[in-house]
Amino acid sequence: MAQGRHFLQIPGPSPVPDRILRAIGMPVLDHRGPDFGKLGHEVLEGCKAVFQTSGPVIIYPGSGTGAWEAAIVNTLSPGDRVLMAETGHFASLWCKMARRWGIEVEFLPGDWRRGAEPERIEAVLAEDRAHAIRAVMVVHNETSTGATSRIADIRKAMDAASHPALLLVDSISGLGSADLRHEEWGIDVTVSCSQKGLMLPPGLGFNAVSQKAIAASRESRMPRSYWDWNDMLGPNSTGFFPYTPATNMLYGLREALAMLQEEGLQAVFARHKRLAAAARAAVHSWGLDIQCQDEREHSPVLTAVVMPEGHDADRFRKAVLDSCNMSLGAGLGKVAGRVFRIGHLGEANDLTLMAALAGVEMGLSLCQVPHRKGGLDAASTVLANTVPS
Amino acid sequence: MAQGRHFLQIPGPSPVPDRILRAIGMPVLDHRGPDFGKLGHEVLEGCKAVFQTSGPVIIYPGSGTGAWEAAIVNTLSPGDRVLMAETGHFASLWCKMARRWGIEVEFLPGDWRRGAEPERIEAVLAEDRAHAIRAVMVVHNETSTGATSRIADIRKAMDAASHPALLLVDSISGLGSADLRHEEWGIDVTVSCSQKGLMLPPGLGFNAVSQKAIAASRESRMPRSYWDWNDMLGPNSTGFFPYTPATNMLYGLREALAMLQEEGLQAVFARHKRLAAAARAAVHSWGLDIQCQDEREHSPVLTAVVMPEGHDADRFRKAVLDSCNMSLGAGLGKVAGRVFRIGHLGEANDLTLMAALAGVEMGLSLCQVPHRKGGLDAASTVLANTVPS
Amino acid sequence: MAQGRHFLQIPGPSPVPDRILRAIGMPVLDHRGPDFGKLGHEVLEGCKAVFQTSGPVIIYPGSGTGAWEAAIVNTLSPGDRVLMAETGHFASLWCKMARRWGIEVEFLPGDWRRGAEPERIEAVLAEDRAHAIRAVMVVHNETSTGATSRIADIRKAMDAASHPALLLVDSISGLGSADLRHEEWGIDVTVSCSQKGLMLPPGLGFNAVSQKAIAASRESRMPRSYWDWNDMLGPNSTGFFPYTPATNMLYGLREALAMLQEEGLQAVFARHKRLAAAARAAVHSWGLDIQCQDEREHSPVLTAVVMPEGHDADRFRKAVLDSCNMSLGAGLGKVAGRVFRIGHLGEANDLTLMAALAGVEMGLSLCQVPHRKGGLDAASTVLANTVPS
Amino acid sequence: MAQGRHFLQIPGPSPVPDRILRAIGMPVLDHRGPDFGKLGHEVLEGCKAVFQTSGPVIIYPGSGTGAWEAAIVNTLSPGDRVLMAETGHFASLWCKMARRWGIEVEFLPGDWRRGAEPERIEAVLAEDRAHAIRAVMVVHNETSTGATSRIADIRKAMDAASHPALLLVDSISGLGSADLRHEEWGIDVTVSCSQKGLMLPPGLGFNAVSQKAIAASRESRMPRSYWDWNDMLGPNSTGFFPYTPATNMLYGLREALAMLQEEGLQAVFARHKRLAAAARAAVHSWGLDIQCQDEREHSPVLTAVVMPEGHDADRFRKAVLDSCNMSLGAGLGKVAGRVFRIGHLGEANDLTLMAALAGVEMGLSLCQVPHRKGGLDAASTVLANTVPS
């Protein structure tokens, strides 16, 4: 049934470019030898540009979930209070993880249709005169909803409240597709991973860290070993790692960093914004609803679409997979079965997006989901009108 | 500019599936060792199913052009007369090649908008009471026009004329996408190559040969060595070759044959017919003209589209390449600049076709080529209405 | 300088076979889709044969170091007492990690020239009438010394002492090259990773777990999330994972498991024993000393060689790398600069070993390390005399 | 049986470096598009350095056998006389091919143990006052014997005889491993292929051509089309080809040319000479005979070894393949069963050679072929004494 090229249009893992797959498939090397030192140095330095930081970026063999854990265990201590915002499924999971580590989380409730609200964060922080809140933890691009929190505004809110909390940001799906300025926005830890905007397979987790975060790690009383930043920072300074790194993934990372640099980060961000606008034009044309409801927060990474009442999103996704050989993202957690997600992150371009939208439209027809025609025309018109010069 | 996945939508080379690329990238082996014998046997046998023959298929390191030459130099002698039909650019090139080899070609003129006409062939053969015509040479799927000649009807025409000429068929772009029945249709030599329906890179040429063709090769007085069938047939019987074969391409061929068998040849043919119907629906919707004008002869392999007067097809193709990272086929020979070609052969599926059509539509807008909207809807409707069960 | 094929003769990462590299380089897939479920199921089941267990094997995106941590945080609680044996550098590192997690380690001192001593373990356990010792933690194949601890005898020692402690075994470099019988030897947690006997790049960690270990995990009071077995076991039962797995590494693992099965585990173990015997014959012939001094404990995975006094092992290794394009393993920790290690694990065969030994011999000459000639002859004689039928 | 890495030690195809395999496995591209033009230009220009010529190098999809044919059909006419030297099996095959094309060959008989003799060539040419001999055709590196003809001396012999014959040289296995100076040595056509010193899989044939050869091609009365140089030279000037080139092989060629340039041609030649010297040292040590008997003509590409009377070389090769997973070259033609050949061309380095020699030594033991020990020591001593600085 599933013939020909598979269209992987989930919001991560994103399709891995051929250049990167070939790089990953090269023979493994001695992780203690001089060639490795060069590779290690190159990727550790190269990552800084993508995170838009001059400080260290720590690379773990692991998943984004591991990088979440690393951010927690390096900066916090049991019993610490933190402020989080319920932007969706992944914010909820990170909150749950923090609680498992003994953190007391104030979890601002949300409707999963917008990003974290700077005003509410400011209000809570302003109340916290004792500065008991050790950290604000926010998901930059909520992969379950397609809402991108305004981190710069959250930074401003924290500053307005003159609050010294750390700012920990999950940009797992944002990094490399949506603008994320670690340093300019005063982020203390940016958590990310390999299989989204970095266009790699899953297998690497990242923590970009500020000096303030490193200082906090020296105070932290969490037991830790694998994720310990300080164990990493020493060997990293010469391009090496305290334990065996995922060497072949680092080959891929070197290639990915080269690709992002060749295109230029600003061009990468503009491309994803443009694709997202085209995707939304199609969805509007079909008469369907978009999960994210704040115009300022539509994600350049993915578009989550609300299924009309009475239609099951997972049945629809299965029909698309079977008939069009395309994977769409499932609704997760509270919106399971009610939402499907179209990924347009990573190496996405005009025609992969148009293919994805064509598959969605065919699926709507096959499943007799009520919709208007014209989505493809709407999207292609947006794209044709905005071809970069 | 050209970012993300390239869409190779020319009518060959067609995109090579990842499975095949990985097979081709395996280490080379000893072409005289026992493992090679197994590989050789497997591909030489496996090819028979794709050509729909029980007789031998000869595999050359070379291009389709080489396989054309092989068909000529093995079966004909200087001064021989043959009958050909001017179906388009490739028929013209094959004719030119035959003439360079001293063959006297009667070249039935054509308008490049249809296949070879069985009636005219029958008429010429019926006139040839002396049976001076040694061979009828026809292009099965004319890659320059998107017209597929009706080989079964040509066979009938030859039989009706009770003419003993050999039937030499170029199915370079037809094989593996369009139905081609070497044995049932009484073809004596089917010429093909690797980079079309077989989904491989260029580098292999094929001759499927009948017993009558082999007998003719024993009479042929053409000088030849590299292309000599008889040098091949001996070693081939044990899986080996008289000179070093293109081993890594044979790895790929083994994988390609497995893929065609997994899907089933009939399903493969049906898939391409369906994609071609969708492509034509889009073109009609746009109000553009299709180069092939005989309903019975629309190619399942490619669709050639006529540019409206005053618009240059090559300028259009360049705009599509620059803006959408998609390659379309150029008009060739007599229709250079006036036609562009959309390939939907090989591993094409619904979404690669929809992507291709989206790229065409965007290009039409960008180049301000007059057209109606709705092509994508028309194509996706055809596809949605004909999803195979 | 470094021309041609690199010989990676460190005791891990070991060279990755071409089949596996090609598998890893295939496009990524949806880790929540039906195809992934099949892959997940296949590798989770397939691992059991290699660990020689009928119980679950947990697969982490991470390194062997992470799998060490997982074994600790799932089974132990802060303040727990454990018994370890100082077999070498890696035993020391694991001990250090346990202490960081608040474990009280009794670390039986060792001279790094033999495996863990069952008799001493039995004596300590027999003393521990109160059964305060929660676990015995032993390194199966000490990668820093080339001594393989006799786990079956350690199990017997524990049984002889009628002690209920858990048995946690690091078989990071042993698994897949040296015999390791998780179930028969009554191991509770076997820790391993991808880049040694499994012939994969680094990036996966493993815990094979007994029912007793799972029961212990329910009692453990360690904070944990990423490494939590119970989070894994649920989704694993249907082939899925609680967070994004390292999909492309799992492709490689599937291929590796197939290769081990094709050769047969017993044949794999016999092969490595035979290669190790040949390596030792060469070392003896050169008149050099082998680090491991117990005949029963020579590792089938690597051979660590003691440099003669006054000669620096790292200078020697650099000369070999520069002149022969071969990486040898460094002496680590206490034996840094005094030992070099020859890996013959994973896909090693007769000629890769002979190449490695030739490189060592050339390096000894180049660095004017005193040695006798004849090492290559001695090794090739061992191999020629023991060719498997 | 055949476990682990295969050692392909035949004198071609030679092992393909991983960089090249990955390049070949990249997606195919439009052979008429702008990116192809760049690739075509790059490889057509880049080849010149390897052939050491400033003139054109023509690249065919095909094998070396095809490139032989191309050299004949472009420069000669039916009935032409040429002078060839029977240096071995491949000279005999090329002679046979020339005769099939109606060429009258004077084939100087040889004993297959040396290269072509300049003195004899000079003598024959001096006799030919009428200049009836159109071409001297010589095999540079006779792959069947391991004797390298002294082309510079043959050029001098032709000049000494003041004879205007063309000089056609087969450097199929020489190019890229042995020094071959197309222009300086006044060669008119150098024939070569991809799978030897160029380190690619089989599938490309080459003709480097002089202006005199091109002039001759305009006079030639051979029928030809596929191999016609003049069809090639036009499109080649802009980086394109008259028919579909083997695109993925050209990716590999680009990488191979880069590798040769990185190492430097002179370093490449020196490397192969040094490896060949080590191979001969081993053979002498074993007390075996080398097929080539002229000290000036030992091939840097391969070493052909004479089996002692009463021992079958093919049985020996099979034992080596079965026990050591190494392919050695068979004796061909007159020396079938009596000679085996060790390839040390292409990406060969010290340790691949030592591995190959170890496999030979083990095979000699296994087959009870009388020999002395010490071959490996002898070879490694040569290598250790000649490590390049």
Q: What would the pLDDT profile of D281-311 be if each residue is shown by its tens digit?
A: 999 999 999 999 999 999 999 999 999 999 9
Q: What percent of chain C has pLDDT over 90?
A: 99
Nearby residues of B389 by Cβ (< 8 Å), 6 or more positions away:
none
Tell me which amino acid residue D35 is: D
Q: Do C351 and D358 touch (CB under 8 A)?
A: yes
d(CA A361, CA A364): 5
Chain pair B-D, CB pairs under 8 angstroms: 171
Contact C253, C204 (CB under 8 A): yes
Two structure tokens written together for C298: 């020579």
Nearby residues of D342 by Cβ (< 8 Å), 6 or more positions away:
D9, D11, D279, D302, D303, D304, D305, D328, D329, D356, D357, D360
d(CA D312, CA A374): 76
Stretch (H or E) spanning D205:
strand D204-209
Q: Which domains are delineated in chain A?
A: 7-14+264-385 (3.90.1150.10), 18-262 (3.40.640.10)
Torsion sign (Cα): A321, A327, A331, A333: positive
pLDDT category at A389 given cuts 50, 70, 90 is: confident
Interface test with chain D among B105, B248, B251, B321, by most D beta carbons within 10 Å: B248
pLDDT at C173 (0 to 100)? 98
Two structure tokens written together for C42: 């296949």
C213 touching D, CB under 8 A? no
In D, minimum Cα distance to C359 occurs at D351
Quick check: pTM over 0.95?
A: yes
A278 chain-B contacts, CB cut-off 8 A = none
Stretch (H or E) spanning A148:
strand A147-148
DSSP-assigned states of every residue in D7-37: EEESSSSPPPPHHHHHHHTSPP--TTSHHHH
Of C101, C243, C330, the CB nearest to A65: C243
Tell me which amino acid residue D238 is: T
In D, minimum Cα distance to C381 occurs at D362
Q: Do C28 and A10 touch (CB under 8 A)?
A: no
Q: Do C225 and A61 touch (CB under 8 A)?
A: no
Chain pair A-D, CB pairs under 8 angstroms: 13
pLDDT category at D51 given cuts 50, 70, 90 is: very high
D308 touching A, CB under 8 A? no
The mean pLDDT value for C284-309 works out to: 98
pLDDT in tens, C69-107: 999 999 999 999 999 999 999 999 999 999 999 999 999
pLDDT at D389 (0 to 100)? 79
Q: How far is C355 from chain D (nearest CA, A)?
A: 5
Q: How do beta strands C81-85 and C141-142 pair? A: unpaired
Give the side-chain half-sphere CA count within 13 A for D328: 32
Cα separations in angstroms, C123 against C49, C86, C294: 33, 16, 20
The mean pLDDT value for C180-198 works out to: 98
Q: What is the CA radius of gyration of chain C?
A: 21
Q: Do D326 and C351 touch (CB under 8 A)?
A: yes
Cα separations in angstroms, C278 against C17, C179, C275, C300, C356: 22, 19, 5, 10, 12
Q: Do D63 and B13 touch (CB under 8 A)?
A: no
In A, minimum Cα distance to C10 occurs at A30
Q: Which residue has the tokens 């083990």?
A: D362
Two structure tokens written together for D198: 């160029």
pLDDT in tens, A243-252: 999 999 999 9
Q: Do B246 and D202 touch (CB under 8 A)?
A: yes
Nearby residues of A203 by Cβ (< 8 Å), 6 or more positions away:
A61, A62, A63, A194, A195, A246, A249, C61, C203, C246, C248, C249
Q: How far is A105 from chain C (nearest CA, A)?
A: 16
Interface test with chain C among B22, B24, B28, B29, by most C beta carbons within 10 Å: B22
Neighbours, chain B (3 or more CB pairs < 8 A): A, C, D
Q: How far is D48 from chain B (nearest CA, A)?
A: 22
d(CA B305, CA B338): 9
Of A18, A23, A27, the CB nearest to D27: A18
pLDDT in tens, D180-190: 999 999 999 99
Phi, psi (degrees; rounded to nearest 5) at C372: -90, 155
pLDDT in tens, A203-224: 999 999 999 999 999 999 999 9
B25 touching C, CB under 8 A? yes
Long-range contacts of range B95-101, CB-CB < 8 Å, 24 or more positions apart? B95/B137, B97/B65, B97/B68, B97/B69, B97/B72, B97/D225, B98/B72, B98/B137, B100/D223, B100/D224, B100/D225, B101/B69, B101/B72, B101/B73, B101/B76, B101/B222, B101/D223, B101/D225
A63 chain-C contacts, CB cut-off 8 A = 61, 243-246
pLDDT in tens, B273-327: 999 999 999 999 999 999 999 999 999 999 999 999 999 999 999 999 999 999 9
Residue D265: CB atoms within 10 Å: 15
Q: How far is C19 from chain B (nearest CA, A)?
A: 8
Three-state SS at A53:
coil
Q: Do B22 and C25 touch (CB under 8 A)?
A: yes
In D, minimum Cα distance to C345 occurs at D4
Q: How do beta strands B289-290 and B302-306 pair? A: antiparallel
If DSSP states are collapsed to H, E and C, what string results for chain B?
CCCCCCEEECCCCCCCCHHHHHHHCCCCCCCCCHHHHHHHHHHHHHHHHHHCCCCCEEEEECCHHHHHHHHHHHHCCCCCEEEEECCCHHHHHHHHHHHHCCCEEEEECCCCCCCCCHHHHHHHHHHCCCCCEEEEEEECEECCCCEECCHHHHHHHHHHCCCCCEEEEECCCCECCECCCCCCCCCCEEEEECCCCCCCCCCEEEEEECHHHHHHHHHCCCCCCCCCHHHHHHHHCCCCCCCCCCHHHHHHHHHHHHHHHHHCHHHHHHHHHHHHHHHHHHHHHHCCEECCCCHHHECCCEEEEECCCCCCHHHHHHHHHHHHCEEEEECCHHHCCCEEEEECCCCCCHHHHHHHHHHHHHHHHHCCCCCCCCHHHHHHHHHHHCCCC
Q: Do D32 and B330 touch (CB under 8 A)?
A: yes
Residue D239: CB atoms within 10 Å: 17
Q: Do A5 and B347 touch (CB under 8 A)?
A: yes
User: Is residue A347 pLDDT above 60, yes or no?
Assistant: yes
D99 touching B, CB under 8 A? no
d(CA C238, CA C243): 14
User: Is residue B1 pLDDT above 70, yes or no?
Assistant: no
User: Is residue C2 pLDDT above 80, yes or no?
Assistant: no
Interface test with chain A among C19, C35, C63, C191, by most A beta carbons within 10 Å: C63
Of B17, B350, B362, the CB nearest to A350: B362
Neighbours, chain A (3 or more CB pairs < 8 A): B, C, D
pLDDT in tens, C211-227: 999 999 999 999 999 99
In B, minimum Cα distance to D328 occurs at B30
d(CA C276, CA C174): 13
d(CA A192, CA D306): 63
Mean pLDDT of all residues in chain A?
97
User: Is residue A1 pLDDT above 80, yes or no?
Assistant: no
The mean pLDDT value for B138-151 works out to: 98
Of B21, B193, B203, the CB nearest to D25: B21
pLDDT at B389 (0 to 100)? 79
In B, minimum Cα distance to D95 occurs at B225
Q: What percent of chain A has pLDDT over 70?
A: 99
User: Is residue D80 pLDDT above 80, yes or no?
Assistant: yes
In A, minimum Cα distance to D25 occurs at A22
Interface test with chain D among C351, C354, C369, by most D beta carbons within 10 Å: C351
In D, minimum Cα distance to B95 occurs at D225
In B, minimum Cα distance to C25 occurs at B22
Stretch (H or E) spanning C91:
helix C89-100
User: Is residue C1 pLDDT above 60, yes or no?
Assistant: no
Beta bridge partners, C296, equal none
CA D206 to the chain's CA centroid: 11
Stretch (H or E) spanning C57:
strand C57-61
Which D residues 27-46 touch A at CB under 8 Å?
Answer: 27
pLDDT category at C389 given cuts 50, 70, 90 is: confident
Q: Which residue has the tokens 């029963």?
A: C296
Check residue C82 and report its DSSP letter.
E
- Rounded to the nearest 10°, the torsion over CA C317, C322, C328, C330 is 40
The mean pLDDT value for D267-294 works out to: 98
Mean pLDDT of all residues in chain D?
97
pLDDT category at D134 given cuts 50, 70, 90 is: very high
pLDDT at B382 (0 to 100)? 97
Q: How far is C203 from chain D (nearest CA, A)?
A: 21
Give the burial class of A30: count Cβ atoms within 10 A of its Cβ; 0-12 exposed, 13-18 middle, 19 or more buried.
buried
Interface test with chain A among C6, C21, C30, C345, by most A beta carbons within 10 Å: C30
Q: Do B377 and A374 touch (CB under 8 A)?
A: yes
B102 chain-D contacts, CB cut-off 8 A = 223
Beta bridge partners, B136, equal B83, B167
